Structure 1
Amino acid sequence: MSQYPDSPLCSRLGASVPIFGFSHSLDVVVAISRAGGIGVWGATRNTPAEIESGLARLATETAGAPFAVDLVLPKDMPARQDRSAIEEAIPTEHRAFVDGLRRKYQVPDDGLPGVRSRFVRSEEMATDQLHAVLDSEVPLVAMGVGTPPAAVTAAKERGKRIISLVGAPKHAQRAIDAGADILVAQGYDAGAHTGEIGTFSLVPQIVELAGEIPVIAAGGVATGRHILAAFALGAQAVWMGTAWLFTTEHQIDPIIAAKLVRAGSGDTVRSRADSGKTLRQIKSAWTEEWSAAAAPTPLGMPYQDILVGDLLGSVERNRIEPLMKSEAGQSVGYFSGQTTVPELMADLATQTSTATGALRNRLGHND
């Protein structure tokens, strides 16, 4: 007997475990898929060439198990990948503030870009990234921000299923209208880009709206009890991201790993300081500086990316401890040390089975 509730969605996709595991690490994605789940590679900050090679590797190393790729395709981005045009539009006040942070924390100006500034998020880059995905063997394409109908149609013509992450019923309806095959109801609790509605409130609303379209629950999922609760809310699987930061496969910097271990659920904050869109991360000097009264209001995407990207890249390369940080959801408080992907997957299976048994006992006592 399975240790998890029945998931028609995962059975249809060829997965034995109803866990979609999101990570920027290819090693983590491979390990999740090989352990029975569905690894999801966050590739939105990778070049088309990197996406092509990364997906080729996943197709080989997942050994026939399902896997997915996640892109962020927001509306109203610049048409071209023209960094000089973006820089010209950045206000002097914002430049001065970032220069002040560089001096205050003694961040070297090494002349190199960071992950957010190695290219401009634009329609041109999104098209090139999507083409790399369409030409690959990846069976599932997740869209983290926005579900462009043209992109959905193009992917479906290549035989790929579309997963759309949504944070509100209005977003879900747009995704449904665009042709999404699967919805991820991502609550306020989640790491990275989140909306205003908590997971427990959001998931049932999306399930009701979706009808026959399967829904995955995301945001705050950390234990077997959360997995069981997600199914009780009507989801057919869960989406987890923060958990994998604690795995050895991720190979995270020890400074950031220590901060994650110390963090509780109340030690995360949503900030627009990284991308211009709300992004949940652990609290740090970075988020404190941008929330101070004297700080300018963060710019919109992709202007904020270019404003801060080089600085953040140097922070990581030179390991400037106060400013080092990580995206993380409120589930961060459930993890206290390193593990491996197979160990974590096994623990989640045991926890879900235990939680299911305990619930059955309670229901039996109530009868």
Structure 2
Amino acid sequence: MHTGICDLLGIEVPIVLAPFGPWEQVELAAAVCEAGGLGSVGTAVLPTAQLTAQWKQLKSLTDRPFAINHTGRPFNEEAFAASLDVRPAAISFHLGVPADLIKRAHDHGIPWLQLVGDVTAAEAALEAGADVLVAQGTEAGGNAGSITTMVLVPAVVDIAGEVPVLAAGGIADGRGLAAALALGAQGAWIGTRFLATVEMAASQRWKDQIVASGALDARKVLNSEVAMPPYTLPQVGAPMSPRALPSEFIDRLARDPDSIDESDRTRLLQLVRSGRGDELLPLSGQSVELIHDIVPARVLVERIVAEADEILARLGSV
């Protein structure tokens, strides 16, 4: 399986590992890279020294292309400048469409993957010079809008012209990848499914919760802005919010957001930075409905590609 996005990013199969913000995913990213996809690592709310150590470790585990993600919630200039020096295969970005940062990446020869949740944001990203649009539907566990992947992807493809599109949100198997390609995308950006892998540095409790949950358990986090870091870049398009599995903290946010104070926000950041953020915010998309096991990342990539190949071959003979 090979599409134009593979040539642009220097990968073998059109699968991109979604970044998990501050959750440590170096070994997972390396495994996805070694399986032929594009591994990614996030940067949100982590100090630059910790991030540079992660990037060094990732380079020691694989010599294949990988991406570094940044976000406008909040944007870290020091970390961004440091990532330019690393020269990853791509920089991905969400929660803001910063034309000045895109230019800086291009000046270093680094392609830009821009996550969008509606056509307005996609249009802004194209104008700003993004090299790839990631159309993320509302099914996703990360910050996403309210448009389904089935509607958003072809709508973004329709205006993207020669700019390739990746589909995100609700994709967990080869059926999702085949559907993404049918909708006009050149590959899939997959998050939640990769949380339930052997290499992901997440708690076993969170992984087990993903396997045991159904789509209706992965709910939008109401009043998330009360607890999460503020935006530090202008936002474009419709509002975005995360989706997560049930927790006492999420219930409290929905029931009594005024009770969330600075100590709660500090505790959340501390837990996130220590790799225990899922105790309060077990971020997960609706694709949990399709996740039934915890497997090595290479097995997962191979399974998704083989299933998509079989589906497309079967459809091609109809």
- Which residue number corresponds to residue 304 of structure 2? 348
- Which residue number corresponds to residue 208 of structure 2? 258
- Which residue number corresponds to residue 95 of structure 1? none
- Number of equivalenced pairs: 300
Which structure 1 residue ranges, 5 or more long, are not aligned? 75-120, 299-303
Measured against aligned partners, the alpha-carbon deviations of 1:144-163 in whole angstroms (never above 9, x if no partner) come to 21121111111111111111
CA contact (8 A) 2:87 2:108 kept: no
Confirm whether residue 7 of structure 1 aligns to residue 3 of structure 2: yes
Which of 276, 294, 298 is equivalent to 1:338? 294
Q: CA deviation at 1:73?
A: 2.1
CA contact (8 A) 2:65 2:89 kept: yes
Inter-CA distance 173–319: structure 2 relative to 1 (3 Å threshold): closer
Q: CA deviation at 1:29?
A: 0.4
- Which residue number corresponds to residue 296 of structure 1? 258
Alignment of 1:106-255 (within 5 A): 121=74, 126-255=76-205
- Which residue number corresponds to residue 34 of structure 1? 34
Confirm whether residue 328 of structure 1 aligns to residue 284 of structure 2: yes
- Which residue number corresponds to residue 43 of structure 2? 43
Cα separation, 2, equivalents of 1:48 and 1:128: 7
Secondary structure (helix, strand or coil) at the match of 1:250 reads coil
Cα separation, 2, equivalents of 1:319 and 1:143: 24
- Counterpart AA for 1:342: R
Residue identity over aligned pairs, in percent, reads 29
CA contact (8 A) 1:265 1:330 kept: yes
Secondary structure (helix, strand or coil) at the match of 1:135 reads helix
Cα separation, 1, equivalents of 2:29 and 2:213: 24
Q: CA deviation at 1:313?
A: 5.5
Inter-CA distance 320–129: structure 2 relative to 1 (3 Å threshold): closer
Which of 223, 248, 255 is equivalent to 1:285? 248
Cα separation, 2, equivalents of 1:170 and 1:349: 32
- Counterpart AA for 2:105: A
CA RMSD across the alignment: 2.4
Q: CA deviation at 1:62?
A: 1.9
Inter-CA distance 164–319: structure 2 relative to 1 (3 Å threshold): closer
Cα separation, 2, equivalents of 1:36 and 1:60: 17
Deviates more, 1:15-24 or 1:250-259: 250-259
CA contact (8 A) 2:245 2:283 kept: yes
TM-score of the superposition, structure 2-length normalised?
0.87
